[in-house]
Each structure stands twice: as structure tokens, then as C-alpha cells.
């Protein structure tokens, strides 16, 4: 291969790489569109492959003037591996099943949260954030931190989506936690799930360990409609102020949201609320690696 040919090949690969970055958003936008139109739900509910005519008839939200464009969307979803197609019949892949409402481990809210307008606007502010002293790109876009935005701007919409996104992640992880790490909970009599949302994790733990008293500590507006029962209770509060006393504290997907000094504050509050290590006190941390 000549030097000229080598350079041309490298340039072609380089352009292809850049084009992938430029147009990657189309895939996530198409998947979000499919979810919002109800395509995964229609295929899931039908229980077997559907033709385009059957599918379009079942999608009441699609305007009649746009039905002809549905074939283009479906073709893209098939080519991207999101849907399967055999002859003129479409059916779900394991991935697209996870966007159906009735799929137990669905991740619909994770997609809606991360590709919704609030986060999209924040991403568009990333370069501006690097040029000022704003704490986050989200703050740069909305003038407030994420938690305040949820509470003040869209508590019923974005707040519910956020809580469900956390729950969808927890449903799968908790089943593994209980089966693979059962020894972590053995011998405990009480546990506080700090920032436990609407209690997805604690509900599962309380069910698996009926002699373990589980308490979810969360901001009052998050657990406003949550009711405890049996060995499960919900307490409104702030982890920076006080954490209820217990044998163990659970921090699932908490610390990665905070700066180092704030993490130290949280862990100090945990230490104040549990017995010493010699007496069986422990902090259980489940989080992403930073």
C-alpha cells in the first residue's frame, strides 16, 4: 500500500469516526421516539410479531398524516438492532423489551430522564460551564442544582421520572444483592436506607429478612405518599442533618452525587448513627466507581 493510499484510508476511518459521533444522537432519539409512541408496549402486549398495519392501527397517538413515516422509523430501529424483523413482521429484542411498561426490569424512566429536555439543555451548556465558575452544567442551564430543580420546577413530572429511574435500577440490583450478598444482612436487627427513594430496595430487603427492621430516610416530598408496613417504615428527613439510629446504614447510589467534603459529612452522620465496628455496626455502600 502506498503512502498516499495509507493516508487516504486513515482519513476515511477518521471521517467515519467523527460522523459516528455527529450522528449518534439519532439512535437515542429514535429509541426515545419509539418509547413515547408506545411501540415497545404495543409489541409486548400483542405477545407475537406484528405487521406494520397492525402496529400502526394500535398506535393511537400517531397522527394519520404521519403513518407513512412509521415504516422509516421501524426500518431504522431494525437496522440499529433495537427491533427484529422477519418478512413483514416486527418483534421485540431483549433490549427493546426493557422499554415496555409491563416488563418487570424495564428502564423506561432512565431513558426519559437522561434524554429529556432538562438534561439535554444541561449537556448543551457543557462548554459554557468550563468557562465559568458554575458548580455543574445543570446549574449553568437552569440556575439551580438538580435537586432544587426537581422540587421547585417539576416535582410531579421530572421527580416521578427520577424516582422511577432509580427504582428500575434497584429492582435488578437488589435481587442480586439479596441472593449473592445475603451474608451482609445476616445478624442485623435494624437498617436505614439513606436516600432510599420510594423504598424499592428496602421493600425487597424487608421481605427477604422479616426480622430486620428497615427504615427509608428520604426528603419529605419524595415519600409523601409512601406508607410503611410490617418491618418497613418511611421517615422524612435530611441525611446532612440526622440519620436515625440503626445497626447498619445503606448508601445506594448516594455518594457519587456529592463532592468529597460532602461525602465525608454524610459518612460522619452515618458513624454517629450506628454502633462501633466491634459491636456490629456497618455502612453498606453500593455505588458507581468514580
Report the catalytic residues.
256
β-bridge mates for residue 192, sequence order: 215, 249
Fill in the DSSP letter of residue 66. G
- Nearest-angstrom CA–CA distance, 278 and 171: 32
DSSP assignments along 186-237, one per residue: TT-SEEEEET-TTSHHHHHHHHH-TTSEEEEEE-TTTSTT---BTTEEEEE-
Q: Which residues 6+ apart lie within 8 Å of 55 measured at CB?
A: 39, 42, 43, 70, 74, 90
3-state secondary structure 75-139: HHHHHCCCEEEECCEEEECHHHHCCCCCCCCCCHHHHHHHCCHHHHHHHCCHHHHHCCCCCCHHH
- Nearest-angstrom CA–CA distance, 165 and 91: 25
CB 116, CB 125: distance < 8 Å? no
Rg (CA), the chain: 24
Indicate the helix (H) or strand (E) that contains 173.
helix 158-180
CB 84, CB 78: distance < 8 Å? yes
Amino acid at each position: 500500500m502506498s503512502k498516499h493510499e495509507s493516508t487516504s484510508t486513515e482519513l476515511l476511518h477518521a471521517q467515519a469516526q467523527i460522523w459516528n459521533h455527529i450522528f449518534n444522537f439519532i439512535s437515542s432519539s429514535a429509541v426515545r421516539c419509539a418509547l413515547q409512541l408506545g411501540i415497545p408496549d404495543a409489541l409486548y402486549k400483542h405477545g407475537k410479531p406484528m405487521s406494520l398495519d397492525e402496529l400502526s392501527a394500535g398506535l393511537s397517538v400517531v397522527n394519520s398524516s404521519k403513518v407513512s413515516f412509521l415504516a422509516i422509523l421501524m426500518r431504522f430501529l431494525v437496522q440499529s438492532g433495537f427491533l427484529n424483523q422477519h418478512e413483514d413482521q416486527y418483534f421485540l429484542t431483549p433490549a427493546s423489551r426493557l422499554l415496555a411498561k409491563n416488563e418487570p426490569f424495564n428502564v423506561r424512566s432512565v431513558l426519559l430522564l437522561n434524554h429529556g429536555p432538562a438534561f439535554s439543555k444541561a449537556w448543551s451548556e457543557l462548554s459554557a460551564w468550563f468557562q465559568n465558575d458554575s458548580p455543574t452544567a445543570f446549574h449553568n442551564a437552569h440556575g439551580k442544582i438538580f435537586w432544587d430543580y426537581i422540587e421547585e420546577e417539576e416535582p410531579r413530572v421530572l421527580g416521578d421520572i427520577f424516582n422511577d429511574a432509580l427504582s428500575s435500577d434497584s429492582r435488578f440490583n437488589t435481587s442480586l444483592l439479596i441472593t449473592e450478598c445475603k451474608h451482609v444482612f445476616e445478624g442485623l436487627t435494624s437498617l436505614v436506607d439513606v436516600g432510599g427513594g420510594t423504598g424499592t430496595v428496602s421493600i425487597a430487603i424487608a421481605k427477604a429478612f422479616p426480622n430486620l427492621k428497615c427504615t427509608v430516610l428520604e426528603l419529605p416530598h419524595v415519600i409523601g405518599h409512601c406508607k410503611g408496613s410490617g418491618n418497613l417504615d418511611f421517615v422524612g428527613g435530611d441525611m446532612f442533618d440526622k440519620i436515625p439510629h440503626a445497626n447498619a446504614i445503606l448508601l445506594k447510589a448516594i455518594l457519587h452525587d456529592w463532592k468529597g467534603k460532602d461525602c465525608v459529612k454524610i459518612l460522619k452522620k452515618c458513624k454517629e448513627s450506628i454502633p462501633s465496628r466491634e459491636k456490629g455496626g456497618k455502612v453498606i455502600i453500593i455505588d458507581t466507581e468514580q
